[in-house]
A and B are shown apart, each in its own frame.
Chain A
Amino acid sequence: MNDRPDAQDLLEIAYDTFATEVLPAVPEGLRYTALMIANAMAIAQRGLAAGDTALRDEHWRLSGLLSENAAAPRDEGLREAVEGYNRRLANEIRAGRFDGEGRAAMLGHLRRTTEEKLAVSNPKALVDPGDNRQEATADKRR
């Protein structure tokens, strides 16, 4: 067993220290890079904190949509099962099987899944739709 603090705690204190002590002192030329580092650490931290709860919920919803009733497998099996279900859902959407009946349930699932992803990737996109945080990466080609 690893010594404490664990990965999540280390990342959290490293992020806080970086954001409060390093970021304000970073020269203008490195500010964008420093903001990207802070953003990456924050995403990683939220990902670790979230665990696999969202993945379990996604598995449960997908099995409903695809009329399956397999119990959610553990650990790596869960990720593989969700990936397999997503592949099937993607194929069925492309084939038009969710165009009519089933469309509302499918859209509800997609929204829920997207919100769960954003809770890790960019929670601000959920609480404040006016804040467009894509810009940090969107402007890379200029």
Chain B
Amino acid sequence: MTLSEKSTRQRLAGFVTRASGARAAVIVALEPMSGGAVQENWALDVEIDGKLRRWVLRTDATATVRESLTRAQEFAVLKVAHEARVLAPEPLFLCDDPAVTGRLFFIMERLPGVAAGHKLTRDSKLVPDGRGLARELAANLARLHRITRARAGLEFLPTMLARDCIAHYRSYLDTLSRAYPALEWGLRWCEINAPQREDTTLVHRDYRTGNYLVHDGRLAGVLDWEFTAFGNPLEDIGWFCARCWRFARPDLEAGGIAGLGDFVAEYEQVSGHRVMPGDLRYWQVMAHVRWAIIALQQVERHLSGTQRSLELALTGHVIGQIELEILNLTEVP
């Protein structure tokens, strides 16, 4: 049972008709979208009672990754974010009946725009006003960070504050056959310098250039909510500003699209919380440690034979750069 089969498409059309309360739904197009090592995205065009809708059907890929949410959980997270006016694709229908396509999936709005980081950081036609875009991203992030556990429900999400992150990354390193002293140092530095008190809000945990769509030079929406958790809002800021996500413009600290000033000022104004230089440095170190851990997980998928892939294999050779960045950030006490 695959989405390319005619019978599957017929069942899918039936599901869409029921879920949308339409009289008739006709599937006009259903094509796999590029990208998405973890989830499979399909561009789905449906004609509902004569009106064309452009959607994305999001389903689990064959290779699942530790730590990512199920489709049902991601759907719930998107609903909460969308209701809080965070720019993101609107979640429409969740299907938990495996008889439809064989796998659980949900349907969301398909936003226009470009996400590729190497394009957005290079092409000024795509981003004519980087500072304006950085402010939009900051305000959007601040709206996300207004969502607290009490407000959101989402009981299934873990809480990952600084010390939880450290323990989690160490436990992963302990499963590997080789030791990584530079990453251990990064974690030790994070432990020594861990914040005394932390706010806890909804955090995206992959809020960065490459994971949002820009359309007509403006932010259309943030994608990839599969790593969402409750945690320290500063983690998202450190991740967004970390050098590893600046692509072609490592000199532009706010995601390779603008300097830090506009991003932080707008975030502070909308959120009402200060971002201190020390916070930024701390969460950039944590960001690089985390990116190294994710890279190691990707290499493991190649090495173990779970998913042999040149792309995953080459990820092993970015570890040195991440380690160098950790050393650059932590050498001065």
Question: Contact residues of A with B, CB < 8 Å?
Answer: 33, 36-37, 39-40, 43, 83, 86-87, 89-91, 93-94, 96, 98-99, 106-107, 110-111, 113-115, 117-118, 121-122, 125, 129-142
Contact = CB atoms under 8 A, between A and B. Distances in A.
B109 interface: no
Nearest to A32: B311
A138 to B, nearest CB: 6
Contacts of B35: 140-142
A110 B249 CA distance: 27
Contacts of A117: 319-320, 323
A98 B331 CA distance: 13
Interface stretch (B81-89, B134-142, B177-185, B271-279): B177-185
A133 B173 CA distance: 25
A121 B318 contact: yes
B117 interface: yes
A59 to B, nearest CB: 14
B179 A87 contact: yes
A31 B86 CA distance: 35
A137 B15 CA distance: 37
Given A141-B36, A141-B37, A132 B317 contact: no
Is the contact region of chain B dominated by helix, strand, or loop, or is it mixed?
helix
A90 B103 CA distance: 42
Contact of A86 (B118, B181, B211, B320): B181
A35 to B, nearest CB: 10
B111 interface: no
A110 B186 CA distance: 11
A137 B315 contact: yes
Nearest to A124: B321
A86 to B, nearest CB: 4
Contacts of A91: 179
A86 B184 CA distance: 11
A99 B187 CA distance: 12
- Chain A CB within 10 A, most for which of B250, B317, B318, B327: B317
23 contacts: A37-B310, A83-B179, A86-B179, A87-B179, A107-B185, A107-B331, A110-B327, A114-B182, A118-B321, A121-B320, A122-B321, A125-B320, A132-B247, A132-B250, A133-B321, A135-B248, A136-B314, A138-B245, A140-B311, A141-B37, A141-B211, A142-B210, A142-B223
A106 B330 CA distance: 12
A121 B324 contact: no
Contacts of B181: 86, 89-90, 93, 110, 113
B137 to A, nearest CB: 16
